[in-house]
């Protein structure tokens, strides 16, 4: 059983929903990433989603685009991200870590090398935004051999046929994008999300996480009522941007926000 599957099993038995915060590795500087990961776990995160900085993050809005720019100023590469996960694993062997990013850095490293190094670092799942399951065969097989869960995005516009395809290809959990567009630019419509998740659950027994558009405790609680996991990215990255001159302030502010989200989800 993978760490992701084990975590969702534990949460289900406890009657709780998963909180999955996102940060971009190396934002605002590489030294803050691992301490911030640990701080988010202490504040109530169940799974950590770590963004791999990329120069053209096409699925992300201005907030995460700027986070990538801040990280890339420090030349943070995929190799560096894997080193950060390795460091995190020295004192946390339980919290699942999902890498979210784009195909180019993986292609540069090489599929086989990436799968081997990601597993060795302690990565549990990989969400490659611009690699659809129809084209992911080679990488998916290498990831499966390494015990890594491939995670795919579902959109509000996904057809029944595509829902079924992604449900078959996914492992760990299915990530439902709650709105049309990029990250961090619109508020969530929970009624529409609930209707779509009913459709998704007819096709898969995997947990379903919902992200994009969750900005505060109230929206996180609303999503937690209909989803198995709540993914929060841009709202956290905004806090990092606002506090980027002080690593200790980043950790304090993000920790407080994650704790707020945790409380709201648990009370939903």
Residue numbers annotated as active site? 49, 60
87: CB partners within 8 A, 6+ apart: 34
Please say whether the dihedral angle defined by the alpha carbons of residues 236, 238, 243 and 247, taken in this order, is positive or negative.
Answer: positive
Strand order in the sheet with 208-211: 149-150, 125-128, 97-101, 48-51, 18-24, 229-232, 208-211, 174-177, 153-154
Q: What does DSSP assign to residue 178? A: -
Q: What is the CA radius of gyration of the chain?
A: 17
Q: How far apart are CA 87 and CA 91, in angstroms?
A: 8
Given a contact cutoff of 8 angstroms between Cβ atoms, the answer to whether 24 and 71 are in contact is yes
CA neighbor of 143 nearest in space, from 103, 114, 100, 108: 114
DSSP three-state, residue 243? coil
Please, what's the largest Cα pairwise distance for the chain?
48
Residue 18 half-sphere exposure toward CB, CA atoms < 13 A: 31
Given a contact cutoff of 8 angstroms between Cβ atoms, the answer to whether 197 and 176 are in contact is yes
CA neighbor of 217 nearest in space, from 238, 232, 197: 232
Q: How far apart are CA 177 and CA 156, in angstroms?
A: 7
């Amino acid at each position: 059983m993978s760490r992701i599957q084990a975590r969702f099993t534990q949460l289900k038995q406890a009657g709780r929903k998963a909180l999955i915060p996102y940060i971009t590795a190396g934002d605002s500087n590489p030294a803050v990433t691992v301490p911030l990961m640990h701080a988010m776990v202490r504040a109530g995160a169940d799974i950590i989603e770590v963004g791999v900085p990329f120069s053209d993050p096409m699925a992300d809005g201005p907030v995460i685009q700027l986070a990538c720019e801040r990280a890339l100023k420090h030349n943070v590469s995929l190799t560096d991200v894997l080193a950060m996960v390795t460091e995190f694993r020295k004192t946390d062997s339980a919290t699942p870590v999902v890498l979210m990013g784009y195909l180019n850095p993986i292609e540069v490293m090489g599929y086989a090398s990436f799968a081997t190094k990601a597993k060795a670092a302690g990565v549990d799942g990989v969400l490659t935004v611009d690699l659809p399951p129809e084209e992911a065969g080679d990488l998916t097989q290498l990831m499966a051999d390494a015990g890594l869960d491939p995670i795919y995005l579902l959109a509000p516009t996904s057809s029944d046929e595509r829902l079924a395809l992604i449900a078959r290809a996914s492992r760990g959990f299915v990530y439902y994008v709650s709105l049309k567009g990029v990250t961090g630019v619109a508020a969530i419509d929970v009624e529409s999300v609930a209707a779509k998740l009913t459709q998704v659950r007819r096709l898969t027994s995997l947990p379903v996480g919902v992200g994009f558009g969750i900005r505060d405790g109230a929206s996180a609680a609303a999503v937690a009522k209909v989803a198995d996991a709540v993914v929060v990215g841009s709202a956290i990255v905004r806090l990092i941007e606002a506090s980027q001159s002080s690593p200790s302030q980043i950790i304090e502010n993000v920790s407080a926000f994650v704790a707020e989200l945790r409380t709201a989800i648990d009370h939903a």
